[in-house]
A and B are shown apart, each in its own frame.
Chain A
Amino acid sequence: MSTPQEQNKKTTTDALAPTLSTSDVDLADLDVSLIKRVVMSPSFALSVAIGLFVIFGLTQSPQFANPQAWINILRDATLIAMPAAFACIVLVSGGLDLSVGSVLVAGAMASAAVASAGLGAGTAFLAGTVVGAVIGLINGFFVNFAKIPPIIVTLGSLFAVRAAVVASTGGNPIGPLPDDFTFWGQGDIFGVPIVIMVGLVAVVAAHIVLSQTNYGWSIRAIGGNLIAARSAGIAVRKVSISVYVLSGTAAAFTGVVLAARLGSGSPTFGQGYELQVIAAAVIGGTSIYGAIGTVPGAALGALLLSVLSNGLVLLKIDPTWQNFVIGVVLVAAAGLDVFRRRQMFRVSAKRTAASRKVSS
């Protein structure tokens, strides 16, 4: 007679492990749910909205068919989409990074200083980016160890970092910058600006990290239920700090690219940028309650902002109305998120928000 332990092991393997070999997913069922998920997704709605706006634009102004106009639109979109992709990741983790604009200017000025000192484009890019990573690390540290709410920590660095940049540069721009550096912001390859290609790579990388890696699933887990994630053994603090580092790095890198594009760094770069970046993420379906959001959505949100701001100019509409339109779209997107949560879960968004407050 075998021991209870042996029996135990054997029956367990018999009953639970055949799973290893069999594929139990109903494929037909999956296809239907995939189509449903795509059509229901904010990215789909956003694509339709952008499409409709462009079609309307085409009927009003031939400028909408001009490739150069589209290159401008895409380049502007890229500069929002890069930080927005990582702002989306921070939001999904249940955090918030308001320091984007200030980190952007810190990255721009650091790289401009290094480039104008003649240390080479590579060093300049590295210096600017590292500054952003360090600020992100500080943000993440205060959020996770001092337990200060992220909105306050990053609002603090929004003020402090910009002040430090202005003080250390005397408020003066740095430039003109050497050609090997500005090439990365102004150059084309086969007629496509390098900026757009670089931005595309950054966005795709962010998307893969969030949607395909176990790290990305951990980010979504801590944003969804911090306590559950911790008790399941996820290194909650490590993950949370890392998303602030990523966000800081991306914002600073965007600043470096901006300095390269404009050929000089100015301490006025990026003022109010964080609001556009967060707006892009939220318009793209990222939930400010955490856990829900996609990088392609955030990128489409950035594209919408860029299409609107450029498009309204092409349509000769008073640019003052731009921000009005953006404000309306933003609130509508957030409203859609609340509605979707209500539909999706028995727990309402309100209760989720309340429990998140308790848990953080």
Chain B
Amino acid sequence: MTLTTQGTGGQVAEEAPPALEITNAWKSFGHVSALRGVSLTVRGGEVLALVGDNGAGKSTLVKVLSGVYPVDSGNITIAGVPLERADPRLARSRGISTVFQDLAVVETLDIAANVFLGQPLRRFGIFADRKQMISQSAAILRSLKVRVPSVRVAAGELSGGQRQGVAIARAVRQDNPIILMDEPTAALGVRETAQVGEIIRSLREHGKAVILVCHDLEFIFAHADRIQVLRLGQVQGVRDVSATTRTEIVSLITGAIARDVDGEVSE
């Protein structure tokens, strides 16, 4: 059972497995069922937006994808290979980079050090290869169209949008095919939001599969290819951005439009 659009699913799935696929994921915390049979597919060069009201299961899904929570049942496959257990490092090494909401930059270190935080380039085993880190981080930021005065500027001096750019650059540097962004625009102003939009566009051009968890429908309609609506732990519907309207998405979020029938409703 896959959730696909406009009936192309069967053939494409045979040609190339999706960058990331979740099938029928269930997850409960005590009596609360956070995910009730959620499926999700995202391909390289595609931006998938995940939307839903509070308690719809978005954050749980993000944590499942980044390897923080194990699922109770269901499968996660990355490029066709199943992810056997929940472990953030395993998820990262298998191809999912997560840009968390709280950005996670070290303000006292410069941009280059932040881009390579935890995974520095080495010289003679123990020394930091600063020259390479400086030139590579500069190039990554440039390719993401993030403008900074110099990569030797401390991250604490940057605006929110630039910091988000640094956090994304770190994910990009890991060169993973899947990038998961949790509320990348939550704390940003108008101009900075536009900057993040630019970065997402550039990631898509580079063939990345981007999963965007976001509240901002205007932003989503500007930057996503597909929108997947979660409601009460289930997939309420999946729509191509080109073939839907804000009203329809809002109706899906609130439940005014009934759930797409692609699996049995529990209870």
How far, in whole Å, are A10 and B205 apart by their CA atoms in the complex?
Answer: 12
Choose among B108, B154, B173 the residue that contacts A223 (Cβ–Cβ < 8 A): B108
Binary interface encoding of chain B residues 114-148 relative to chain A, with 1 for a CB under 8 A from any of its CBs, else 0 = 00011110100011100110111011101100000
Q: How far does the Cβ of B17 sit from chain A's closest Cβ, in whole Å? A: 8
Q: A232–B104 contact, CB under 8 A?
A: yes
Q: B154–A345 contact, CB under 8 A?
A: yes
Q: A228–B128 contact, CB under 8 A?
A: no
Q: How far does the Cβ of B142 sit from chain A's closest Cβ, in whole Å? A: 7
Most interface-central of A24, A30, A228 (chain B CB within 10 A)? A228
Per DSSP, chain A at the interface is: helix
Stretch in contact with the other chain, from A99-107, A158-166, A214-222: A214-222
Q: B108–A25 contact, CB under 8 A?
A: no
Residues of A within 8 A of B43 (CB): 4
Binary interface encoding of chain A residues 193-220 relative to chain B, with 1 for a CB under 8 A from any of its CBs, else 0 = 0000000000000000000111111001
Known: A220-B109, A224-B106. A4 touches B172 (CB 8 A): no
Q: Which of A21-44 contact B (CB under 8 A)?
A: 22-26, 29-30, 33
Residues of A within 8 A of B232 (CB): none
- Asked whether B157 is an interface residue with its Cβ less than 8 Å from the other chain, the reply is yes
Most interface-central of B108, B113, B142 (chain A CB within 10 A)? B108
Q: A346–B156 contact, CB under 8 A?
A: yes
Choose among B117, B126, B143, B157 the residue that contacts A215 (Cβ–Cβ < 8 A): B126
Q: B207–A19 contact, CB under 8 A?
A: no
- Asked whether B175 is an interface residue with its Cβ less than 8 Å from the other chain, the reply is yes
- Asked whether A320 is an interface residue with its Cβ less than 8 Å from the other chain, the reply is no
Q: B128–A24 contact, CB under 8 A?
A: no
Which chain B residue lies CB-closest to A12? B206
Q: B119–A233 contact, CB under 8 A?
A: yes
- Asked whether B96 is an interface residue with its Cβ less than 8 Å from the other chain, the reply is no
Q: Which of B70-110 contact A (CB under 8 A)?
A: 79, 89, 100, 102-109
Q: B44–A8 contact, CB under 8 A?
A: yes
Binary interface encoding of chain A residues 119-155 relative to chain B, with 1 for a CB under 8 A from any of its CBs, else 0 = 0000000000000000000000000000000000000
- Asked whether A291 is an interface residue with its Cβ less than 8 Å from the other chain, the reply is yes
Binary interface encoding of chain A residues 52-95 relative to chain B, with 1 for a CB under 8 A from any of its CBs, else 0 = 00000000000000000000000000000000000000000000
Most interface-central of A19, A33, A292 (chain B CB within 10 A)? A19
- Asked whether B246 is an interface residue with its Cβ less than 8 Å from the other chain, the reply is no
Q: A221–B45 contact, CB under 8 A?
A: no
How far, in whole Å, are A212 and B142 apart by their CA atoms in the complex?
Answer: 26
Q: B205–A11 contact, CB under 8 A?
A: yes
Most interface-central of A3, A4, A19, A215 (chain B CB within 10 A)? A4
Q: B143–A16 contact, CB under 8 A?
A: yes
Q: B108–A19 contact, CB under 8 A?
A: no
Known: A5-B44, A7-B207, A227-B104. A22 touches B135 (CB 8 A): yes
Q: B207–A229 contact, CB under 8 A?
A: no
- Asked whether B37 is an interface residue with its Cβ less than 8 Å from the other chain, the reply is no
Q: A25–B156 contact, CB under 8 A?
A: no
Residues of B within 8 A of A229 (CB): 106, 117-118
Residues of A within 8 A of B132 (CB): 20
Q: A5–B16 contact, CB under 8 A?
A: yes
Q: Contacts A8-B44, A228-B117, A232-B117 given; 17 further ones with Cβ under 8 A?
A: A4-B45, A7-B207, A8-B177, A12-B206, A15-B206, A16-B140, A19-B135, A20-B132, A24-B139, A33-B152, A213-B126, A214-B120, A220-B109, A224-B106, A224-B109, A232-B118, A346-B156
Which 10 residue pairs of A and B lie closest in terms of their CB atoms, listed nearest first?
A232-B118, A19-B139, A345-B156, A8-B207, A291-B108, A3-B16, A224-B108, A233-B118, A224-B106, A4-B44
Which residues of B pack against A, CB within 8 Å? Answer: 15-17, 19, 43-45, 79, 89, 100, 102-109, 113, 117-120, 122, 126-128, 131-132, 134-136, 138-140, 142-143, 150, 152, 154, 156-157, 170, 172-173, 175, 177, 205-209
User: What are 13 contact pairs spanning A and B, CB under 8 A?
Assistant: A5-B16, A7-B207, A8-B44, A12-B177, A24-B139, A25-B135, A29-B150, A214-B122, A224-B107, A228-B106, A232-B119, A234-B118, A346-B157
Which residues of A pack against B, CB within 8 Å? Answer: 3-5, 7-12, 15-16, 18-20, 22-26, 29-30, 33, 212-217, 220-221, 223-225, 227-229, 231-234, 290-292, 344-347, 352
